[in-house]
Structure 1
Amino acid sequence: MAYNVLLFADPGVDDSFAIMYALLNPKINLVGVVSGYGNTPKEQSIRNTAYLLSLGGREDIPIIGGAAGPLSGELVQYYPEIHGKEGLGPIKPPDTLKNVKVFDFNKILEIIKQYNGNLIIVSVGRLTELALMFILYGDNVLKDVSAFYIMGGAFLVPGNITSEAEANFFVDPIAAYTVMEKAHNIYLHPLNITNKAIITPEIINYLSENSPTPFKPLIKPAFDYYFNAYQTNVPGIKGAPLHDVVPLMALTNPDLVKYIPRRVRVEQFGNAKGKSIADFRPKPDKEPIESLDYIGMEANIQKFAQNFTDTFLRGEFQKE
């Protein structure tokens, strides 16, 4: 059985690998991609998504235009030194990508209705768009979504933007707070596990020679650019963490991640802006059951690397 997945992404190198992984994994039926600002400006994010879908022969998958910036209205800082000027490392999507059809937010409502109770939302970018759904349409707008698989936060480890905060939560902490409070059945994949989801240059070199997929030409240049940035930021690292593949793989491989139920809150302002907070004491304060989130605390990294490799070696992939 394939999971119907609506993906919120901001490609970005690791988001791009997440989109490729979703297209290649037979257990995922990708029903739409919400593409907004994050690693690149919104317009570039949409172009990158369109490029990846066209490479995969899946122009039938709707692209929904996301937000252009956070709810606070603050200016967004981009990270070309990590993701490249265009978001795909050194790769520039071809200029032939003209007249890409982009849907507005109402398309999200249509998709939720279409899959009526049989839809998973996977969010690997900023949480602005998900928060906007609650703001625009009310607290019950996403009640028919089965679960939310989110990459964000950091628990008992340092952040990657500040000493406390992970990027997806830090850039729009108001949105992160809103989503963690209002969404239900959340499976959160924070830095404490995604930092370890490392893919090595050896795996990438093997895939760049042997992957039969249409993404083969992208795999090595995009990864190498990203890996070089990580070698600068984390001296001695043996590969690069593909954070955004983790929630998709966890969805399709239920034994990949071990979760513990805790209520997650997000600091919205001040020096700890974007910090994710949960009570890890042996006897945490009691919280209403419906407010508990599932926080990923351990992941089988060997299985992560193996499943990633196997997926990119698939000879046939989903074409409609």
Structure 2
Amino acid sequence: MAYNVLMIADPGIDDSFAIMFALLNPKINLVGIVSGYGNTPKEQSIKNTAYLLYLANRQDIPIIAGAAGPLSGEPILYYPEIHGKEGLGPLKPPDTLKNVNVYDINKIIEIVKQYRGDLVIVSVGRLTELALMFILYGNNTLKDVTAFFIMGGAFLVPGNITAEAEANFFVDPIAANTVMEKAHNIYLHPLNITNKAIITPEIINYLSENSPTPFKPLLKPAFDYYYMAYQKNVPGIKGAPLHDVVPLMALTNPDLVKYIPRRVRVEEFGNSKGKSIADFRPKPDKERPESIDYIGMEADIQKFIVNFMEIFMQGECHI
């Protein structure tokens, strides 16, 4: 059985690996990609998504234009030292990609109606677009979505932007808190598991020589750039964590991640902006059942590595 998946991404190197993973995975039917600001400005994000779909020969998958900035209206910080100026490390999508058909955000509503009761939203970027759906269309607008698989937050570990905050929550904490409070059936994949989802240069070298996928030329240049950035930020690291692949793999491999049920909130302002909060006491305060989220606390990293290699050794993108 394949899962119908609407992705929200901001490619970005690890987002790009996540999109490639989704396109190659026979258990995923990718029904749309929302591309907004995040690792790059919105326009570049859309170009990168179009390039990946072009390589996969899947221009039938709708690209939806996401947000250009956070709900707070604060200036956006980009991280070219991690993702490169164009978002794909040293690579640049060709200028020949013209006349790409891009839908506006209303297309999300169409897709939710089309796959009513059989759609998973996988968000690996900022949470602005998801929050906007609740703001524009009301609290029940996404009630027919089966589940939300989100990469974001950090619990009982340091953040990666500030001492306490992870990037997707930090850049738009108002949106992150809105989504955590209003969406239902959320499976959250925070830094405490995604930091460990490390792929090594040896694996990428093997795939860049042997993978039969149309993405083969991208794998090594993009990964090497990303790995170099991680070596500066985390001295001694043996590879680079592909954070955004984790929620997709958790969806298609239900025993990959162990979750704990807790209500999650996000600090919206002040010195702890973007901090993800949950009650980890043995007897947490009682919360309404509908406010409970599922926080990923452990992941089978060996299984992650094996499945990653299996998917990237697939022959071609499925339809």
TM-score bracket for the superposition, by shorter chain length: over 0.9
Asked if structure 1 preserves the Cα contact closer than 8 Å seen for 2:214 and 2:316, the reply is no
Give the aligned partner of residue 152 of structure 2: 152
The secondary structure found in structure 2 opposite 1:283 is coil
The secondary structure found in structure 2 opposite 1:243 is coil
The one-letter code matched in structure 2 to 1:104 is D
Give the aligned partner of residue 271 of structure 2: 271
Q: Does 1:87 align with 2:87?
A: yes
- Deviation track 1:197-255 (CA, whole Å, cap 9, x = no partner) reads 00000000000000000000000000000000000000000000000000000000000
User: 1:285 Cα deviation (Å)?
Assistant: 0.6
The secondary structure found in structure 2 opposite 1:136 is helix
The one-letter code matched in structure 1 to 2:163 is S
Give the aligned partner of residue 176 of structure 2: 176
Give the aligned partner of residue 71 of structure 1: 71
The one-letter code matched in structure 2 to 1:143 is K
Give the aligned partner of residue 17 of structure 2: 17
Give the aligned partner of residue 287 of structure 1: 287
Equivalent-residue separation in structure 2 for 1:263 and 1:316 (angstroms)? 40
Structure 1: segments with no counterpart, 5+ residues: none
Equivalent-residue separation in structure 1 for 2:227 and 2:98 (angstroms)? 31
Q: How does 1:246-261 map to 2 (within 5 A)?
A: 246-261=246-261
Equivalent-residue separation in structure 2 for 1:33 and 1:316 (angstroms)? 19
Q: How does 1:73-222 map to 2 (within 5 A)?
A: 73-222=73-222
The secondary structure found in structure 2 opposite 1:53 is helix
Equivalent-residue separation in structure 1 for 2:105 and 2:46 (angstroms)? 14
The one-letter code matched in structure 2 to 1:72 is S
The secondary structure found in structure 2 opposite 1:135 is helix
Equivalent-residue separation in structure 1 for 2:313 and 2:30 (angstroms)? 19
TM (norm. structure 2) is 1.00
User: 1:98 Cα deviation (Å)?
Assistant: 1.2
The secondary structure found in structure 2 opposite 1:220 is helix
Q: How does 1:54-65 map to 2 (within 5 A)?
A: 54-65=54-65
Q: Which runs of 4+ in 1 moved over 4 A?
A: none
User: 1:316 Cα deviation (Å)?
Assistant: 3.5
Greater shift after overlay, 59-68 or 96-105?
96-105
The secondary structure found in structure 1 opposite 2:187 is strand
User: 1:106 Cα deviation (Å)?
Assistant: 1.1
Equivalent-residue separation in structure 2 for 1:106 and 1:239 (angstroms)? 39
Give the aligned partner of residue 304 of structure 1: 304
Give the aligned partner of residue 231 of structure 2: 231
Q: Does 1:49 align with 2:53?
A: no
User: 1:116 Cα deviation (Å)?
Assistant: 1.1
Equivalent-residue separation in structure 2 for 1:316 and 1:220 (angstroms)? 18
Asked if structure 1 preserves the Cα contact closer than 8 Å seen for 2:267 and 2:276, the reply is yes
Equivalent-residue separation in structure 2 for 1:135 and 1:277 (angstroms)? 23
Asked if structure 1 preserves the Cα contact closer than 8 Å seen for 2:279 and 2:285, the reply is yes
The secondary structure found in structure 1 opposite 2:202 is helix
User: 1:8 Cα deviation (Å)?
Assistant: 0.2
Give the aligned partner of residue 241 of structure 1: 241
User: 1:317 Cα deviation (Å)?
Assistant: 2.7
The secondary structure found in structure 2 opposite 1:122 is strand
TM (norm. structure 1) is 0.99
The secondary structure found in structure 1 opposite 2:228 is helix
The one-letter code matched in structure 2 to 1:60 is D
The secondary structure found in structure 1 opposite 2:97 is coil
User: 1:173 Cα deviation (Å)?
Assistant: 0.1
Asked if structure 1 preserves the Cα contact closer than 8 Å seen for 2:6 and 2:32, the reply is yes
Structure 2: segments with no counterpart, 5+ residues: none
Equivalent-residue separation in structure 2 for 1:193 and 1:278 (angstroms)? 16
- Deviation track 1:91-135 (CA, whole Å, cap 9, x = no partner) reads 000000111111001110110010011000000000000000000
Equivalent-residue separation in structure 2 for 1:6 and 1:163 (angstroms)? 31
Equivalent-residue separation in structure 2 for 1:236 and 1:118 (angstroms)? 43
The one-letter code matched in structure 1 to 2:296 is G
Asked if structure 1 preserves the Cα contact closer than 8 Å seen for 2:212 and 2:314, the reply is yes
